[in-house]
Amino acid sequence: MPRNAPPDHLPTEVRDRSDVARACSDWDVGRLFRLVNNLTDGPHRFTASHIARRCGLSPSRVAEYMKGEHRVASAAVVLRVADGLGIPRERFELDRRAQPAEPPCARREGPGEFRRRAMLVGGLAATLPVLNLDELVRLAAALDDARRYMDGPVSEYFHRQLDACARSDGAAGPSRTLPSVLGIIAAVESGARQAKAKARRELLGVAARAGELAAWLYRDLGELVSTAHWHERATEWAQECGDAAMQGYLLLKRSQAAWDERDGARMLAFAEAAQHRCRRLPRRVLAEVTQQQARALAMTGASYAAVARKLDQAHAILGRVPDGPGGEDGSGLSAHYSPALLELQSAICQVEAGRPELAIEIYRARLDSGRFSRRDQAYFSVLMAQALAAAGEPDEAARLGRGALEVAVATRSTRTLGELGRLTHQLQAWRECSAVQGLCDALG
């Protein structure tokens, strides 16, 4: 060990402190890192770079934890921290934090083996915001299941698995779906390194699609840094396999992610880039891109005529899409995009353009069509509630928000919870109303 390097493990007097023990049992690695940094000094101080090296994390990730940008770590990160800093694993109370259902394979191999195999995903597990032992079991199982098909029609298999993940997301929520998606990405990356040129391109196409789905799931969890990471990785894979349509689609998705932060300028920039850089976008994608431009124009102060013109263009483009799933090119990109969804997005544009009454009419006509998952139904219900609040209808707005809250919690949709936070801010002027008070109390 170099003379000026910290010891391999934490000094006993630091490791056994009560505040360090509490940080471990809370899985609050940011607080733990700060304590370790402050309680050691001189040449033996545990700096962020030393902590990162010992725990197998990037220095930037350690810095984010220390700044409080990630409050609770995943099980994979906790295990790395325990081993890297020489803290007994039982200090983190893993058994108390996660009591997984025991599938047959778990009885054979045990949670320690699943953790070890999940770690082989190349750091993917560490990107999960909260990954308990049950989820690690599912991640490892998904990876093993995917690898069995490496000698068969792999691309078709992975596409089918991604279809299943996308279907389950709306009902089960992102936390339940992420382990399978990350397992697929890990298996595809591993297979692509060994595949011949044609098969490699096909696998990279799968990776781009899986990366986009991972970005969406992280977006729904409110993990904006991870969302951006997976958008970037998916774009790299799409570029490497020469999929121009997917590159344009990913620009659309980045525009949509900017909506969560209400960043109209970035929304418009990404939407315009999607249209101008990719000249042959599938019509469903182009229709959604055009709608996104309309919303961004409304947010950045464009005239109502300009917003309405873009919405008309979006409806016209979508009207030219042949019947049937997947659109005219068979890519499946924006296959979910329907006139009903475009109408709901048009309602968002109307609110941003200062016409909430018109938005409410659209929501009343379209929202109860039965075409949306319970998670999406709840999300749009909150947006309708925001329109009602803007129109001076606080009671109905609060009731809608209260109903959506239960679904948002059940599906772990942080995105929907964020919109509920915006709604309660809108309703502050009516705080004395019983319905508004009930919503605010429910949100805490």
Residuewise pLDDT in 10s, the chain (444 residues): 444 556 667 888 899 898 899 888 888 888 899 999 899 887 778 888 888 888 877 777 788 888 876 655 666 677 778 888 889 888 887 655 443 333 333 333 333 433 333 333 334 444 443 444 454 455 455 545 545 544 446 777 788 888 888 887 766 778 888 888 888 888 888 778 777 888 888 889 999 999 999 999 999 888 888 899 999 999 999 999 999 999 999 999 999 999 999 999 999 999 999 988 777 899 999 999 999 999 999 999 999 999 999 999 999 999 998 765 555 555 678 888 999 999 999 999 999 999 999 999 999 999 876 788 888 999 999 999 999 999 999 999 999 999 999 998 888 888 899 999 999 999 999 999 999 999 998 886
pLDDT of residue 42: 76
Measuring CA to CA, how many Å separate 356 from each of 51, 299, 362, 384, 418?
51, 14, 10, 9, 20
Which letter, b or e, does each residue of 21-36 get, where b requires 16 or more Cβ atoms within 10 Å of its Cβ? eebbebbbbbbbbbbb
- pLDDT for res 158: 81
- Read off φ and ψ for residue 329, nearest 5 degrees: -105, -5
**pLDDT at residue 73, rounded to an integer:** 62
What's the farthest any 2 CA atoms get from each other in the chain?
72
pLDDT at 144: 53
Which pLDDT value is given to residue 313? Answer: 97
Given this model, what pLDDT does residue 4 score? 53
pLDDT at 152: 45
- Can you give the pLDDT at residue 273? 94
Q: What is the CA radius of gyration of the chain?
A: 24
Are residues 83 and 112 in contact, defined by beta-carbon separation less than 8 angstroms? no
